[in-house]
Structure 1
Amino acid sequence: MKKLNAILITGALFLISQSSFADIVINGTRVIYPEKSKEVNVRLTNVGTRPLLVQSWLDKGEAQESPENINVPFIINPPVSRIDAKKGQVLRISALKNDLPKDRESIFYLNVLEVPPKMKADKKNGEDKAVQDSGNSRLQLAFRTRIKLFWRPDSIAKMTPAEQLKKINWTLVNNGKGWAIKATNNTPYHFTFSQVRVGGQDAKAGMVAPLSSAEFPMNNNAKPTGSDVKFSWINDFGSDVESQSMLSR
């Protein structure tokens, strides 16, 4: 990934991930990049009432790292753009030559940082106007939205959601801190669970990587009394899909 010059903001700076206060809306909650695609497009829309400067970059999980210190096998164009109010911008993400695994998906994160214009008091009418002024010391807020990008090799097995779900095994474990439900993902795909319930008791849901396992602690650390597992997982379109299974013995 080409190095990006950091956007400099005078005054206080706050980075708020996926904030409901953000004016830049990403079309979708995740990006799927098939290996054979030359590029994938992501549309941004400014739903606010003022123009915004927007910086976009990808990371491998380094949420706090500065963009210029991150190396990923992708290029985003444009990396920095101005989006006027009620207007949009298309990000073109292109893959570079890489040695990413061919037997499973790889995960990256798309960051979209919006920076509002500097505010300066208008002496004539007492109102604030949005102007670029490096000498102003008013509080500035920069909002960041961060969503997942899945690199999907062409060589991995093509499986329907029903086939994938059959390869998710659920077991109860006690890790010394309390009870948890362990999800073993025997597929080459990432699974993100938005809700997991065992025997009517909630667990702290999350993501499990391909060909890996993850433990989701029970909310009360107590051992569930039932063996039924009800869960919601997020599909390629960002929709929650309700499913159910049983604990493995």
Structure 2
Amino acid sequence: MKKYLLFITLSFLTVFHATASVTMLGNRIIYNENSRDKTLVFSNDNETPALVQIWTDINNPKSSPDNADGPFVAVPAIFNITDNSKQNVRLTYTGGKLPDDRESVFYFNYLSIPSVKKEDADKNKLMIVVTNRMKLFYRPANIGNDTADVINKLEVSRQGNTLDIRNPTPFYASVSSAVLSAGNKRGQIENTTMIAPYSSAKWSLPAGYQSGNITLLLGVINDYGVEKTRSITLN
């Protein structure tokens, strides 16, 4: 889950970091085709009430409620959550027909704005609001839910200074880490990407790992937001 900062200027006299500790259960959303809707649970563990707004998008990290284009409706999409309480939100797919042989991915966003205490109401402030963003996977009924072995089905090969990874499954492979080792050397592939179903990715290998025996420790995030790892030896 990624977080983005939104700056709301109330004045330049006082600055405070006013992010309410509103969180959602889980760090990714799996929406099954056969489900009428998906229930999401929000919690406010702060002593301050907050206003929460939700929207979805197709693939725009700079999306906002004004230009949201995701094919989902959240009810309620805007709500007040009191201090130390929970709020359920119902998410429903409202779009057209999607591929039935593979997952589709969208993005779910929410921001929370804390209420201002009475004693601070007349003070001038610069408010910093955090937008939370996470992946939202639409999973067709045809492919089931057996994602436990996705990491072991990834096909990895080295071609000179490039690492090729093919995903032969109908599920997205959310790669979280790719650590290299050769003898006493340790390195990491930067900017690893999520690999779409039935697709492949090419990653550049750092110098020192382009020949000889190397070991790749690959990390992939599962449906529960937990990293699973697999060690792969490349000759």
Q: Which runs of 5+ in 2 are unaligned?
A: 1-5, 12-18
Q: What is the CA–CA distance in structure 2 between the aligned matches of 1:108 and 1:57, rounded to whole Å?
A: 11
- CA deviations on 1:37-60 (whole Å, 9 max, x unpaired) are 001111111112211111011111
Distance of aligned partners of 1:50 and 1:224 in 2 relative to their CA distance in 1, 3 Å threshold? farther
**How far apart are 1:66 and its partner, in Å?**
2.4
> Which segment is superposed worse, 26-35 or 137-146?
137-146
**How far apart are 1:113 and its partner, in Å?**
0.4
Checking the alignment, whether the CA contact within 8 Å between 2:30 and 2:138 is kept in structure 1 is yes
Checking the alignment, whether the CA contact within 8 Å between 2:151 and 2:173 is kept in structure 1 is no
Matching residue within 120, 129, 147 for 2:134 = 147
Q: What is the CA–CA distance in structure 2 between the aligned matches of 1:34 and 1:152, rounded to whole Å?
A: 5
Q: Secondary structure at the match of 1:112?
A: strand
Q: Which residue of 2 aligns with 1:186?
A: 168
**How far apart are 1:184 and its partner, in Å?**
1.0
Q: Secondary structure at the match of 2:142?
A: coil
- Report whether the alignment pairs 1:11 with 2:10: yes
Q: How many residue pairs end up in the alignment?
A: 218
Checking the alignment, whether the CA contact within 8 Å between 2:113 and 2:129 is kept in structure 1 is yes
CA root-mean-square deviation: 2.7
TM-score (normalised: structure 1): 0.77
Query: Which of the pair is proportionally richer in strand?
Result: 2
Q: Which residue of 2 aligns with 1:18?
A: none
TM-score (normalised: structure 2): 0.81
- The one-letter amino acid of 1:42's match is L
Checking the alignment, whether the CA contact within 8 Å between 1:183 and 1:215 is kept in structure 2 is yes
Distance of aligned partners of 1:224 and 1:64 in 2 relative to their CA distance in 1, 3 Å threshold? farther
Q: Which runs of 5+ in 1 are unaligned?
A: 1-6, 13-20, 123-128
Q: What is the CA–CA distance in structure 2 between the aligned matches of 1:237 and 1:223, rounded to whole Å?
A: 34
> Identity percentage over the alignment?
29
Checking the alignment, whether the CA contact within 8 Å between 1:180 and 1:203 is kept in structure 2 is no
Q: Secondary structure at the match of 1:161?
A: coil
- The one-letter amino acid of 1:152's match is R
Q: Secondary structure at the match of 2:66?
A: helix
- CA deviations on 1:211-235 (whole Å, 9 max, x unpaired) are 1112333455852642432212111
> Which segment is superposed worse, 27-36 or 202-211?
202-211
Matching residue within 140, 154, 158 for 1:172 = 158
Q: Secondary structure at the match of 1:114?
A: strand
- The one-letter amino acid of 1:202's match is Q
Q: Secondary structure at the match of 2:141?
A: coil
Q: Which residue of 2 aligns with 1:209?
A: 196
